[in-house]
C-alpha cells in the first residue's frame, strides 16, 4: 500500500499573532511553525500502517523553502520521502489542485489529509482533492482500518458516529481519533539523523488559479476589564449579570 500524507505548515497555537502592511499580511517574525495537528494524527496513523502492514509513506505540502523544517520533522517521524510543491498556498482550491497532480503521478492508494488546518480552518482541501481525483472520500474520520483494498472507517457526525465501508483508492479527512494524542511520535535522534538522508523532492506547481485573496486581517476585540464582586454580595452579582452583562 502506498500512502500520501498531506501536511500543512501552521503557526504553533502559543505563538503571538501580528500583522504588517496595514493588517494585510501575516507577520511571521518570531512565530514557531509546526505540523498541523489534524495532519499529525493522520501521519501517525500512516506510520502504523507502515509498521504493521509494510506500507510506503510519503508526505507532501504546498509551500516555499521556509516549510522544509516541518517537512524534515515528518521525515524524522518516519515518512519515507517528502514532496514540496514550490508555491505559496494561497487558498484551498489552489492547494488541492497542486496535491492532485502529486497523487496522480505517484499512484497512491490512500491519501490522508487533516480535516482542516488550524490557521485558516477552511476545511476545503480533502473534499476538493477527492473530487478532482474521483476517489472515495471520508471526512471527519476518527478510525481507519485497511484490509487489502477494502477500508472500514468511522467518522464523526452531528450527534454521533457513522461506520462506513469503502474501497481504495481513498481520500481521508482525519482528526483526533485516528490516533490519540498519547500516540503521537516525537522524533528521536536516530530519526532526525536518518531524515537528513531521505529525499525531499521539490516540484514546481501546475498552472492553477487562486480563487480567493486576503484583503485584510483583524484581531478579535480585546477583552474588557474584569469586575470583582465580593462572594457575600450575591445581589450585586445578579444585578451586574442581568443589567450590564445581559447574561440573565
CATH number at residue 172: 3.40.50.620
pLDDT at 34 over 90: yes
Q: What average pLDDT does range 30-58 have in this prediction? A: 96
Average pLDDT, the chain: 94
CA gap 248, 234 in Å, rounded: 14
Q: What is the pLDDT of residue 223?
A: 82
Residue 225 lies in a domain: no
Residue 226 lies in a domain: no
Residue 221 lies in a domain: no
Contact (Cβ atoms closer than 8 angstroms) between residue 187 and residue 195? yes
Residue 237 lies in a domain: no
Residue 248 lies in a domain: no
Q: What is the pLDDT of residue 79?
A: 97
- pTM value is 0.87
Residue 229's nearest CA partner among 212, 241, 243 is 241
Q: Which domain holds residue 102?
A: 2-216
Residue 210 lies in a domain: yes
Total structural domains in the chain? 1
Amino acid at each position: 500500500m502506498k500512502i500520501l500524507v498531506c501536511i500543512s505548515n501552521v503557526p504553533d497555537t502559543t505563538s503571538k499573532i501580528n500583522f504588517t502592511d496595514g493588517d494585510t499580511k501575516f507577520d511571521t517574525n518570531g512565530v514557531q511553525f509546526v505540523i498541523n495537528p489534524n495532519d499529525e494524527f493522520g501521519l501517525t496513523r500512516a506510520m502504523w500502517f507502515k509498521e504493521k502492514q509494510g506500507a510506503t509513506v510519503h508526505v507532501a505540502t504546498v509551500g516555499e523553502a521556509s516549510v522544509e523544517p516541518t517537512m524534515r520533522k515528518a521525515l524524522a517521524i518516519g515518512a519515507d520521502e517528502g514532496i514540496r510543491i514550490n508555491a505559496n498556498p494561497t487558498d484551498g482550491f489552489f492547494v488541492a489542485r497542486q496535491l492532485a497532480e502529486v497523487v496522480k503521478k505517484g499512484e497512491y492508494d490512500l491519501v490522508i489529509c487533516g480535516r482542516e488546518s488550524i490557521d485558516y480552518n477552511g476545511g476545503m482541501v480533502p473534499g476538493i482533492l477527492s473530487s478532482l481525483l474521483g476517489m472515495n472520500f471520508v471526512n471527519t474520520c476518527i478510525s481507519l482500518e485497511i484490509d487489502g483494498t477494502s477500508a472500514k472507517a468511522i467518522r464523526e457526525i452531528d450527534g454521533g458516529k457513522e461506520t462506513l465501508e469503502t474501497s481504495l483508492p481513498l481520500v481521508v479527512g482525519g482528526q483526533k481519533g485516528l490516533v490519540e494524542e498519547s500516540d503521537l511520535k516525537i522524533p528521536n535522534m536516530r530519526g532526525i539523523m536518518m531524515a537528513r538522508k531521505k529525499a525531499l523532492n521539490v516540484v514546481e506547481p501546475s498552472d492553477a488559479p487562486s480563487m480567493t485573496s486576503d484583503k485584510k486581517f483583524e484581531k478579535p476585540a480585546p477583552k474588557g476589564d474584569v469586575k470583582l464582586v465580593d462572594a457575600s454580595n450575591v445581589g450585586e452579582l445578579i444585578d451586574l449579570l442581568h443589567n450590564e452583562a445581559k447574561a440573565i
